Structure 1
Amino acid sequence: MLAPKKRDHLLARRQLYLNYGALSLATKLNLAGHDTVLVHGEHRSPTEILETLRAADKFPSKYPLMLSIPSYYALPWAREFCKLAKSAYPDSKIVVGGRWVVGPDPEWFQTMVPEADQVVLGLGEPIIESLLTSDASVHQRSIAPTPSYTLDHLLVEGHAAYQPSIEASRGCGMGCQFCEERDIPLERLRPPEAIARSMALVQEQYGGSEIHPYMQASLFAPNRSWADRLAEETAKQGRLGINWRTETRVDTLRPGAVASLASAGLKVVDLGLETASPTQILAMNKSKRPDQYLKSASELLSSCRDNGVMVKVNVLLYAGETEQTLAETRAWLDNHAESIRGVSVGPVIAYGPPRTAGILLDEWAEHGARPVDPRSAFESGITTMHLSRDFDAASAERISLELSRRYMDADAYFDLKGFSYYPRGYTRAQFDQDTHSSDPVTLPFEIAPRTAA
């Protein structure tokens, strides 16, 4: 990306996000015998990345240059990169995927990136080899189950800096109004035996050094039996030293499974609470029973605390947010603060071109929200919102930072970010130096002396 997704400061620019979807495609090509490399743009310029490919003799090539755009925030970078590539080598073929960006409206996307020779609307595994020789301009939406193979992180340029990923399942289908996967059915989790083997293989890829894999699953929902089996399998393979992270909803991960998951290495959970206001729970379609939803959240937080699992709670300021609904969420978080390591807060944003964003914008208008710029959906695919009469876009951003700082200091922020997103080997001393070099107004944590060990 040209700039970080939320707030642009030095700490945000340090973060590395492994594109595990692109790595799945690279791994499949490599297993089929093709010489493959995956290069992340990070916050490097498109010119620098193009020069990196040329210096490594990877571009130009008789094979297509395949570009993954995982977010609308990456679209400006991708547009500039494709222009540069075509300008330098007009005969090069560029294939572009990234189902969240390409799929909703391929005609709109092609006006945004006209240099793309081919666009892929869905998941790429079923057709990835055919893309090496195909001439079709648009490849229709396809689906693919969770791959059975282990991602080959050695294919990633500079892989040692990235924390690895292990894909556990795909899909969600829970129907939350703001979520891209609301209608994609949830798959079964891969068998615990397969997960444990992948952990062992990935650690071998990293030369046996310490790793903190992210268990990738849009909805991580293991039952007690699955969790018990994972603990058994990781113990058999001696993998109790591997600590890992995942994300889930407050009402799908059962508290009774947490002890076994912690024994199997679970150390951090990104928990999608989103709100503790009954009004907003209903508005988001998170649950038809807000009381039960919040009870489940309380029980899960307690279980994580008791089993030494750090919890980062995700909070979403939603359309129609008021002082009262915010106060309800704040009070609930206050009551559970001892079980929370950190909080990530942000206002809701409509992603997508007019064809898809318009559906959300119409619904949010019924709650009193309106776009900051009605042209944004067409121009960028990112529509920021005035949430209500109580919170315009500026005040929603201010409240987001205030709420994050209320529950998160520098220690907690480093623990959470350092576990998964900062380069492996990034030290607390480097973090402190980068914090000192950043504008404190932009930071989502309270700057305070480190706590005693």
Structure 2
Amino acid sequence: MLAPKKRDHALARRQLYLNYGALSLATVLQLQGHETRLIHGEHYTPDATLMQLREFGIFPSRHPIMLSIPSFYALTWAQSFCQLVKRTDPEARVIVGGRWVVGPDPDWLRGLLPEADVLVEGMAEPIIGSLLTSSPDLRKLAAPTPGFTLNHLLVQGHLRYQPSVEASRGCGMGCKFCEERDIKLDRIRAPSELAHSMALVQEQYGGADIHPYLQASMFAANAQWGEQLATTVSELGLNIEWRTESRVDALTPRAVAALARAGLKVVDLGLETASPAQIVAMKKARDPDRYLASASKLLAACRENGVRVKANILLYAGETVNTFEETRSWLDDHASCISGVSVGPVIAYGPPKTADFLLEDWERLGAHPVDPLSKHVSGITHMHLSKDFDSGAAEAASLNLSRRYMDADSYFELKSFSYYPRDYTRADFDQDIERSNLEKLPFRLMARH
């Protein structure tokens, strides 16, 4: 990306996000006998990345450049990169994927990315080999959770990144704002399979300490599954602390206790809101009281079992001073169970074809776009949430809420566990704070009294 998606400061530019979807494709190609390499653009300029390809001797090439665009925030980077590729080598074949960006409206994207020779709309594991041929299979396909282990050795500079292990795909819980609201949840991979994958990944890192992210839009393991994972981890002699993502009503306290014994150390929980009205508006749950009761029990279980919680909070369309205060009050009551929070206002992603139904619903709740044309231009539509929270007020409230529950220590611990380079130290972090605009930092520098 040309800039971090939330707030641009030195700390945000340090973050590394392993594109595990692209790594899955690279691994499939490698298993099929092809020599492949995965390079992340990170926050390097497009021309610096292209120069890197040239220095490696892999551009120009008779093989295609396969470009993964994982989010609309990466689109401007991709546009510049594709223009550079074609200007440098007009014969280069550029294949672009990334189902969240390509899938909603390929015709819209083609207008913004005319240099792309091929657009792949769905998940490409079943067809990736054909994309190397002159007759690519371009069916829009889904793909189940892969049973193989991602080969991190294919990632240029892989030792800088914390690894990923796919646990499951899909969600299907119907939350209004979520891109996976209608994508059915796959069954989670077998515990023994996941444990052996973690062991293989640790071998790829030379036996060093790793903190893999068990990737799942909704990690929904039950207690029995967790016990089996703990048993296998013990039998293999693994001592690996890992992280995952789930809903506050998808894990039970018994499951958390078992998963903690299996190495779970950090969980990102999509609470989103503690306002009953907003829970219903988001379609997060039909029974807000039951939802919040489940959340309370889960957070308490995480604290009791030494699992750090990062709570995701979403300021939603129709947000009022009252609904915001309901969430803040609930978080105050559970502050001892929370290591940090990630807070931000809701954003509509996608071109008009997919964004319009969200925008129409949000406008009925009292919200309206900051720029009605942005869905056409970038696929990113920021919102004025209500008369109480215009775009600026929502951003200010997001920062204040984040700082209320997170200091520099907790922020560093959570980010360094999964997202900062593996060799990034606290001294590096402190130096980057000095280079950052303090008004944009989502944590407090002084302890609360």
TM more than 0.5: yes
User: Does the alignment pair 1:179 with 2:178?
Assistant: yes
- Give the letter for the 1:52 counterpart: Q
- Give the letter for the 1:373 counterpart: D
Of the three residues 269, 272, 275, the one matched with 1:271 is 269
- Secondary structure, aligned partner of 1:67: strand
Deviation digits for residues 346-382 of structure 1 (CA, Å, limit 9, x no counterpart): 0000000001000100000010000000000000000
Counterpart residue number, 1:189: 188
- Give the letter for the 1:320 counterpart: G
- Secondary structure, aligned partner of 1:115: coil
Report sequence identity in percent: 65
- Give the letter for the 2:144 counterpart: P
CA deviation after TM superposition for structure 1 residue 140, in Å:
3.0
User: Does the alignment pair 1:101 with 2:101?
Assistant: yes
CA deviation after TM superposition for structure 1 residue 308, in Å:
0.2
- Secondary structure, aligned partner of 1:291: helix
Of the three residues 328, 333, 339, the one matched with 2:331 is 333
Supply the distance in 2 between the matched residues of 1:195 and 1:284 (Cα, whole angstroms). Answer: 32
CA deviation after TM superposition for structure 1 residue 259, in Å:
1.0
CA deviation after TM superposition for structure 1 residue 450, in Å:
12
CA deviation after TM superposition for structure 1 residue 96, in Å:
0.2
Counterpart residue number, 1:247: 245
- The equivalences for 1:297-308 within 5 A come to 297-308=295-306
CA deviation after TM superposition for structure 1 residue 436, in Å:
1.6
- Secondary structure, aligned partner of 1:246: strand
CA deviation after TM superposition for structure 1 residue 135, in Å:
4.3
> What are the ranges of 5 or more consecutive residues in structure 1 without an aligned counterpart?
none
- Secondary structure, aligned partner of 1:90: coil
CA deviation after TM superposition for structure 1 residue 255, in Å:
1.3
Of the three residues 350, 353, 358, the one matched with 2:356 is 358
Q: Is the 8 A contact 1:250 1:271 kept in 2?
A: yes
- Give the letter for the 1:227 counterpart: G
CA deviation after TM superposition for structure 1 residue 57, in Å:
1.1
Q: Is the 8 A contact 1:312 1:344 kept in 2?
A: yes
User: Does the alignment pair 1:380 with 2:375?
Assistant: no
Q: Is the 8 A contact 1:411 1:450 kept in 2?
A: no
CA deviation after TM superposition for structure 1 residue 134, in Å:
3.4
- The equivalences for 1:290-301 within 5 A come to 290-301=288-299
User: Does the alignment pair 1:153 with 2:146?
Assistant: no
- Give the letter for the 1:50 counterpart: L
Supply the distance in 2 between the matched residues of 1:233 and 1:450 (Cα, whole angstroms). Answer: 42
CA deviation after TM superposition for structure 1 residue 449, in Å:
6.3
Supply the distance in 2 between the matched residues of 1:394 and 1:337 (Cα, whole angstroms). Answer: 26
Supply the distance in 2 between the matched residues of 1:184 and 1:140 (Cα, whole angstroms). Answer: 18
Counterpart residue number, 2:225: 226
Deviation digits for residues 83-133 of structure 1 (CA, Å, limit 9, x no counterpart): 000000000100000000000000000001000000000000000000001
- Give the letter for the 1:167 counterpart: E
- Give the letter for the 2:440 counterpart: T
Q: Is the 8 A contact 1:410 1:450 kept in 2?
A: no
Supply the distance in 2 between the matched residues of 1:58 and 1:29 (Cα, whole angstroms). Answer: 16
- The equivalences for 1:424-443 within 5 A come to 424-443=422-441
- Give the letter for the 1:72 counterpart: F
Against the structure 1 CA distance between its residues 363 and 357, is the aligned structure 2 distance closer, same or farther, given a 3 Å change threshold? same
Supply the distance in 1 between the matched residues of 2:230 and 2:277 (Cα, whole angstroms). Answer: 39
Supply the distance in 2 between the matched residues of 1:436 and 1:54 (Cα, whole angstroms). Answer: 35
Q: Is the 8 A contact 1:231 1:260 kept in 2?
A: yes
Supply the distance in 2 between the matched residues of 1:59 and 1:250 (Cα, whole angstroms). Answer: 46
- Give the letter for the 2:191 counterpart: P
- Secondary structure, aligned partner of 2:150: coil
Deviation digits for residues 201-244 of structure 1 (CA, Å, limit 9, x no counterpart): 000000000000000001100011100000000001111x2000
Q: Aligned residue pairs: how many?
A: 449
Counterpart residue number, 1:198: 197
Counterpart residue number, 2:165: 166
Task: Give the structure-2-normalised TM-score.
Answer: 0.99
- The equivalences for 1:48-59 within 5 A come to 48-59=48-59
Deviation digits for residues 242-301 of structure 1 (CA, Å, limit 9, x no counterpart): 000000000011111111101110000000000000000000000000000000000000
CA deviation after TM superposition for structure 1 residue 139, in Å:
2.0
Supply the distance in 1 between the matched residues of 2:282 and 2:93 (Cα, whole angstroms). Answer: 42
Q: Is the 8 A contact 1:228 1:260 kept in 2?
A: yes
- Secondary structure, aligned partner of 2:284: coil
CA deviation after TM superposition for structure 1 residue 448, in Å:
2.4
Counterpart residue number, 1:130: 130
Counterpart residue number, 1:17: 17
Supply the distance in 1 between the matched residues of 2:191 and 2:86 (Cα, whole angstroms). Answer: 45
Deviation digits for residues 57-87 of structure 1 (CA, Å, limit 9, x no counterpart): 1111111100000000000000000000000
Supply the distance in 2 between the matched residues of 1:100 and 1:115 (Cα, whole angstroms). Answer: 19
Supply the distance in 1 between the matched residues of 2:114 and 2:448 (Cα, whole angstroms). Answer: 50
- Give the letter for the 2:145 counterpart: T
Counterpart residue number, 1:211: 210
Supply the distance in 2 between the matched residues of 1:175 and 1:450 (Cα, whole angstroms). Answer: 38
* RMSD between superposed Cα atoms in Å: 1.1
CA deviation after TM superposition for structure 1 residue 430, in Å:
0.8
Counterpart residue number, 2:365: 367
- Secondary structure, aligned partner of 2:313: strand
Supply the distance in 2 between the matched residues of 1:207 and 1:177 (Cα, whole angstroms). Answer: 43
Counterpart residue number, 1:286: 284
Supply the distance in 1 between the matched residues of 2:338 and 2:128 (Cα, whole angstroms). Answer: 42
- Secondary structure, aligned partner of 1:433: helix
- Secondary structure, aligned partner of 2:122: coil
- Secondary structure, aligned partner of 2:126: helix
- Give the letter for the 2:179 counterpart: E
- Secondary structure, aligned partner of 1:125: coil
- Give the letter for the 2:268 counterpart: D
CA deviation after TM superposition for structure 1 residue 182, in Å:
0.3
Counterpart residue number, 2:416: 418
